[in-house]
A and B are shown apart, each in its own frame.
Chain A
Amino acid sequence: MTLRLSPRIEPDVRSALAETVLLQQLVDACGSPLSVVLPDRMADNVAAFRAVLAGHRLAGEVFFAHKANRSSALVRHLAAGDAGIDVASLGELQHALSAGIAARRIMATGPKNREFLWLAARAGVTVNADSIDELSELASLVTAHRLPRVRVMARLSGFASTGARVTSRRSRFGVPARAIGAVADLIGKEAGALDLTGVAFHLDTIGLAEKVVAIEGCLAALDECHRRGLRPRSLDIGGGFGVDYLADAAEWERWTSELTEAVLGRRPPLTWDGHAYGLRNDGGTVRGALGLYPAHRPVAGAAYLDALLRAEVRAHRRTVGTLLLDAMYDLHVEPGRALLDQCGMVLARVLEVRDDGDGTVVRLDCNARDVSLEEHGVLMDPVVVHRSSPADPRPVGAYLVGNLCLEADLITRRRVHLPARPRPGDLLAFVNTAGYFMDFSATTAIRQPVARKVALYRDGGAWRWCLDEQYWPVHPGTEAA
């Protein structure tokens, strides 16, 4: 018996998966692997974030972190709505502008070169600066090229906590929070070039406590700016709201318990070659840390934002949400992964199915970079899209191997559960992979193709598709609605 990890599949995705003939034709036409994005769902995810902000009476923008997916369809769909976008490279900025997103709704984050800074300043987007050096480089660019005054935010890091010391992993980004004075001095000196609209952070953690500490630190920094006569009005808390990938908590609990048993040698392995995902057996005791994304996360996405806003800042005896509202600050968020929940899947053709030792090996015409679930530590079962009837209606436990000549090219090291044995020619659908797993890591190593992308959308009752780069939010479906 293979233990299942059933993905959470919401009705739209389920309905798309039911279009087996269409999906087969798409892969026949565009090749394997194929990325499929569902732009419509993204608007619902944005609305959920907006609803949380509204519930706390907070003003602010939802900036989609573009890095999570390169799709044009998604970005153009976003342009048609009311969300903003967080761009992290010159290419992403150009892409956002060409999709029609207004400069006021664009936030430039991450490490930047001169060209990126110039275009950001020229176009009038907000520059979310990583360091004091970046701010001064931007100021000199603006002055030298006689550009209009640029809206900037200062990204901070290294926040100090009160009471218990809440530690965070070291970050390579951001101005140390204690150096806010130096930021304010520079802004004061460069008032003709830079307009400080607020401060920002992004912490790569699922921990709420760390974010509460960071928000507290940002409030203090904003206050310091006010004390020095500046009038910043917003706080940008970055991304990292998470996604709940699995349908069933009990499956996840069972699987992780059995993994521990397997690591201790008390049951046969659940994984390729006994891979232990970071755990090890040290004389009967489990050591190490489980290197997996907590795939079952009941509080994720907009609900995580809500929990954060409800968390109490002890020093002020008020919740984060009330403190921000009291101080009249706008709250910006930059969700990537969370806005792409249920927005896409990767399809891959089955090339070979053979039995080998403790499992069936299914070789796919794609590689581990095309569906980088394993690299991101997210475990969930794929869905089989049969071309005809299954080879055998009984379930199989399968290892999924890829098309690179590398031993390590396993699409999953975990033995996945397939409800029926696939045949060559069938497709595996990796659902809910639009956030980071689709194209962040894809390569053309050994001249294997990178997946094409198509957008799937509803027109009246029917599903329609087009190449990702052909999608504009003026297809018949949008007019009907």
Chain B
Amino acid sequence: MRVDAVTDAIGNTPLLRIDPSVHGLRHIDLYAKLELLNPFGSVKDRAAWAMARPLLARAAGRGDIVVELSSGNTAKALAVIAGMHGLGFRSVTNRMKVPEIKDLLLLLGADIEELPGQAECLDPTDAEDPLTRMHRSLAAAGTGYLHTDQYFNPLNVDAHRHGTGPEIVADLDGRAPDYFVACVGTAGSSTGVAAALRRHNPGLQVVGLVAHKADFIPGIRTIDEVHEVGLFDPGVYDAIETITADDAVDGLLTLVRRCGTLAGPTGGGAYQGAVRHLRTVDAGLTGRRTAVFIVCDRVESYLSYLRERRPELFRQPARPTSTRTVTDAEAARAPSVDVGTAQRWVSQGRGPVVDLRSPFAYQALHIDGSINIVDELFAELLHGGLPFGRRQPVLLVCPVGEKSARYAALLTRMGHPDVHSLEGGIIAWRDAGGELVRD
């Protein structure tokens, strides 16, 4: 496929039949609409392009910036589109919760503005919603702006009514499926696709998935939050069901490990929600049925999200030369010197003093003549072996003498005969009136 602009590559994504041995449904063919294969990585490429496209020429003429209330895929797509057209992009968000996406947006040239958290002392006169705040902050900035308004903009729905929906019908040889399952964020994709499919099959069952209230699934809303969405119309859905972050991760693992589909959490949630809903239906079926769910985006942006929820997925074998392997007893036995001895060590120049604190703290104040190797780097060095010779006496310094004791124990175990930890750390040194310098 040859294209002149990357935006021409938006849409026409594959419809993948999920292997029945994976989902276990006997009477239902389950298909995944692979929206993760859009050029910027998600289903939101369609909406972003549909909403921005008609306004770009004018905005470019005036030098407006593009703004959207989004901390995820819409922001990502808009940042790329704005950049391609020489415009700035600002993402306004309540909380940027996924660090990889934040970094990616910054890399793409976006400005990110995080709105303040709720007040600890309630101010009952403050009834502003994030949208009002955003408009006020933009108005104050004085520059023109193009607000794509994804939660209210009908073009967000149209992108799917005219794109995603008809593509599904075409790939199913002109027939609409019997079931359609989608996560609800702005409701644009589910509303648009449902409308297109219903034209072909008025009996279509639509399941909308929202996040469990106590959970956070990036990209979608909870049952309360959907009511704040202008595009959300409960009449579109035959059922609104809840998925938990655990469901989303379980589904994600199935898709990435067994289906060759590198789906993000909402794709996983849609799979899990679809199978859960269809399993009850499947039991009572005799004829064949078809179901479609949407895989919205890709897994790569959610590694920290996954690490937080399923650390065991990332567990690495402990490296032998790590302070984690040092027992408390070993640390307590580590060779150490008190402040008085340490002062003589320094004045007599017995050997290097290694300060394990952060460079920031070291630069502010340190023991004269010491060198700074922050603990993380020091740990890395030790994986490779002893970073100084055995005949070289070394004094290790940290804030209170705990970390340095662990490193002294580890170095001793690695065969260093003359390494010591400063008892009580640099705080004890300071409190004893020891000299500290700043270069």
**Are the CB atoms of A206 and B118 closer together than 8 Å?**
yes
Size of B's binding interface in residues, CB under 8 A? 52
- Identity of the chain B residue whose Cβ is nearest the Cβ of A249 in the assembled complex: B214
Q: From known contacts A242-B120, A328-B430, infer whether A289 and B129 are also in contact, taking CB-CB under 8 Å.
A: yes
Q: Does B417 contact A (CB under 8 A)?
A: no
CA separation between A166 and B114, bound complex, in Å?
5
B133 smallest CB distance to A (angstroms): 9
**Are the CB atoms of A165 and B113 closer together than 8 Å?**
yes
**Are the CB atoms of A278 and B116 closer together than 8 Å?**
no
**Chain B 93-119: CB-based contact to A (< 8 A → 1; otherwise 0):** 001100000110110000111111111
Name the interface residues of A190-220: CB closer than 8 Å to any CB of B: 204-210, 219
Q: Does A88 contact B (CB under 8 A)?
A: no
Q: From known contacts A165-B111, A289-B127, infer whether A326 and B122 are also in contact, taking CB-CB under 8 Å.
A: no
Choose among B105, B124, B376, B426 the residue that contacts A377 (Cβ–Cβ < 8 A). Answer: B124
Q: Does A286 contact B (CB under 8 A)?
A: yes
- Identity of the chain A residue whose Cβ is nearest the Cβ of B214 in the assembled complex: A249
Choose among A167, A242, A284 the residue that contacts B114 (Cβ–Cβ < 8 A). Answer: A167
**Are the CB atoms of B122 and A291 closer together than 8 Å?**
yes
**Are the CB atoms of A325 and B400 closer together than 8 Å?**
yes
Q: Does A15 contact B (CB under 8 A)?
A: no
**Are the CB atoms of A205 and B360 closer together than 8 Å?**
no
* Secondary structure dominating the interface of B: loop
**Are the CB atoms of B365 and A240 closer together than 8 Å?**
no
CA separation between A350 and B142, bound complex, in Å?
56
- Identity of the chain A residue whose Cβ is nearest the Cβ of B129 in the assembled complex: A289
Name the interface residues of A399-443: CB closer than 8 Å to any CB of B: 436
CA separation between A205 and B120, bound complex, in Å?
5
Q: Which residues on the A side are within 8 Å of B116 (C-beta)?
A: 167-169, 205, 207, 210
Choose among B122, B223, B224, B233 the residue that contacts A292 (Cβ–Cβ < 8 A). Answer: B122
- Identity of the chain B residue whose Cβ is nearest the Cβ of A168 in the assembled complex: B116
- Identity of the chain B residue whose Cβ is nearest the Cβ of A282 in the assembled complex: B230
**Are the CB atoms of B357 and A326 closer together than 8 Å?**
yes
Q: Which residues on the A side are within 8 Å of B239 (C-beta)?
A: none
- Identity of the chain B residue whose Cβ is nearest the Cβ of A325 in the assembled complex: B399
**Are the CB atoms of B223 and A257 closer together than 8 Å?**
yes
**Are the CB atoms of A264 and B122 closer together than 8 Å?**
no
B183 smallest CB distance to A (angstroms): 18
**Are the CB atoms of A257 and B224 closer together than 8 Å?**
yes
CA separation between A293 and B119, bound complex, in Å?
8
Choose among B103, B127, B214, B361 the residue that contacts A326 (Cβ–Cβ < 8 A). Answer: B361
**Are the CB atoms of B114 and A205 closer together than 8 Å?**
no
CA separation between A291 and B124, bound complex, in Å?
6
CA separation between A239 and B229, bound complex, in Å?
35
Q: From known contacts A57-B400, A328-B365, infer whether A286 and B228 are also in contact, taking CB-CB under 8 Å.
A: yes
- Identity of the chain B residue whose Cβ is nearest the Cβ of A163 in the assembled complex: B106
CA separation between A316 and B426, bound complex, in Å?
20
**Are the CB atoms of B121 and A226 closer together than 8 Å?**
no
**Are the CB atoms of B365 and A226 closer together than 8 Å?**
yes
- Identity of the chain B residue whose Cβ is nearest the Cβ of A166 in the assembled complex: B114
Name the interface residues of A315-360: CB closer than 8 Å to any CB of B: 316-318, 322-323, 325-328, 337
**Chain A 161-174: CB-based contact to B (< 8 A → 1; otherwise 0):** 00111111100000
**Are the CB atoms of A207 and B118 closer together than 8 Å?**
yes
Q: Which residues on the B side are within 8 Å of A285 (C-beta)?
A: 227-230, 232
CA separation between A247 and B18, bound complex, in Å?
43
Q: From known contacts A287-B129, A326-B357, A377-B122, infer whether A164 and B224 are also in contact, taking CB-CB under 8 Å.
A: no
- Total A-B pairs, Cβ < 8 A: 136
Name which of A204, A206, A292 has the most chain B CB atoms within 10 A of its CB.
A204
- Identity of the chain B residue whose Cβ is nearest the Cβ of A241 in the assembled complex: B120
**Are the CB atoms of A260 and B122 closer together than 8 Å?**
no
Q: Does B22 contact A (CB under 8 A)?
A: no
Q: Does B364 contact A (CB under 8 A)?
A: yes
Q: Does A256 contact B (CB under 8 A)?
A: yes
**Are the CB atoms of B119 and A205 closer together than 8 Å?**
yes
Q: Does B427 contact A (CB under 8 A)?
A: yes
B224 smallest CB distance to A (angstroms): 5
A239 smallest CB distance to B (angstroms): 8
CA separation between A165 and B229, bound complex, in Å?
25
Q: Does A294 contact B (CB under 8 A)?
A: yes
Choose among B96, B130, B213, B358 the residue that contacts A316 (Cβ–Cβ < 8 A). Answer: B358
Q: Does B438 contact A (CB under 8 A)?
A: yes
Q: Which residues on the B side are within 8 Å of A377 (C-beta)?
A: 122, 124
- Identity of the chain B residue whose Cβ is nearest the Cβ of A254 in the assembled complex: B213
Instruction: Please report B residues at the A interface, Cβ cutoff 8 Å.
Output: 95-96, 102-103, 105-106, 111-122, 124, 126-131, 137, 213-214, 223-224, 227-230, 232-233, 357-358, 360-365, 376, 399-400, 402, 426-427, 430, 438
The 8 closest A-B pairs by CB, nearest first: A207-B117, A164-B112, A326-B361, A326-B357, A377-B122, A327-B361, A240-B120, A286-B227
A-B contact pairs, 22 of them (CB 8 A): A57-B402, A164-B96, A165-B112, A167-B115, A167-B137, A204-B121, A207-B116, A223-B360, A249-B214, A257-B223, A285-B227, A285-B232, A287-B228, A288-B127, A289-B128, A291-B126, A291-B127, A318-B358, A325-B399, A327-B365, A337-B120, A436-B121
20 other contacts beyond A207-B95, A223-B360, with CB at 8 A cut-off? A57-B399, A164-B96, A165-B112, A165-B113, A166-B114, A206-B120, A207-B116, A219-B360, A223-B364, A256-B224, A260-B227, A278-B124, A285-B228, A285-B230, A291-B124, A294-B118, A325-B400, A327-B361, A327-B365, A375-B124
